[in-house]
Amino acid sequence: MLRVESLSFQRGQVPILEKVSLELEAGEVLMVRGENGCGKTTLIRLLAGLIPAQPDFKVFLDDQPYHPQQVQTRLQFMYLGHALGIKDELTCLENLEFIARFLGGRSDISPLGSLQSCGLDGYQYTQARRLSAGQRKRLSLARFLLCPARIWLLDEPYSNLDAEGLTLVDRLLQKHINEGGGALITSHGTFIPQVTNHREMILEVA
């Protein structure tokens, strides 16, 4: 459903991405692997529309040219970056309630329900700044259960998590692809996602 055709990107003089092509099908997890500095984050941020596209930006969503800044496009994906997008001074529940009200949540799950699914039961009234790094990641992942987006763009979802957290990510991904969604995820490690349908691609340093 998402197709990238020979995407290049450079920052100033430095080429970050050199003719990257990939295709993400519905119902699969595509793991982009590569060492530090190979442009994984840039790729994800470009697709999320956080970095303005350069003229030769050839990305297609369902075979239509992809404009990351259009409302219709933006409703289709969710993004997890290095900064997790949660407010420290708000409680876990308040964070998720805000997301649900701001983006329009799914009717089949409540903020509290998603919190419980992500193993944060009992933390709903705890301010996010009191959470450990792994728990914060879980809180940020709970956002993904709340919103009906087809495409997930996850930058390093497995980092900072304990064994239970890793299976949590796998569980979320599995549920997402079962529902016909697709996920583009990155990792600099060797971790292999335990889901039914997953592919890998290696990103070389440009």
Number of helices (H) and strands (E) in the chain: give both, helices first.
Answer: 6, 9
Q: Which helix H or strand E contains 99, and what residues bound it?
A: helix 92-103
Q: What are phi and psi of 97, to 5 degrees?
A: -60, -40
DSSP assignment string, 30-98? EEEE--TTSSHHHHHHHHHTSSPPPTT--EEETTEEP-TTSHHHHTTEEEE-SS----TTSBHHHHHHH
Contact 95, 128 (CB under 8 A): yes
Return the number of the residue (55 or 189) whose C-beta is nearest another protein. 55
Q: How far is CA 107 from CA 58, 88, 202, in A?
A: 35, 26, 37
CB of 19 to another protein, least distance (A): 17
Nearer of residues 81 and 134 to another protein, judged by Cβ: 81
Least distance in angstroms from the C-beta of 140 to another protein: 8
Nearest approach, Cβ of 145 to another protein (angstroms)?
Answer: 15
Of the two residues 41 and 117, which places its CB atom closer to another protein in the complex?
41
**Least distance from C-beta 109 to another protein, angstroms?**
12
What does DSSP assign to residue 17? E
Query: Cβ(20)–Cβ(4) under 8 Å?
Result: yes
| CB-nearer residue toward another protein: 102 or 125 | 102
Nearer to another protein, 25 or 88 (CB): 88
Shortest distance, position 16 Cβ to another protein, whole Å:
11
- Of the pair 110, 167, the CB lying nearest another protein is at 110
* Residue 74 C-alpha from the chain's centroid: 13
Per CB under 8 A, residues contacting another protein are: 11-13, 48-52, 55, 68, 71, 74-75, 79, 81-90, 94, 98, 101-107, 148
Q: CB 122 → another protein: shortest distance, Å? A: 21
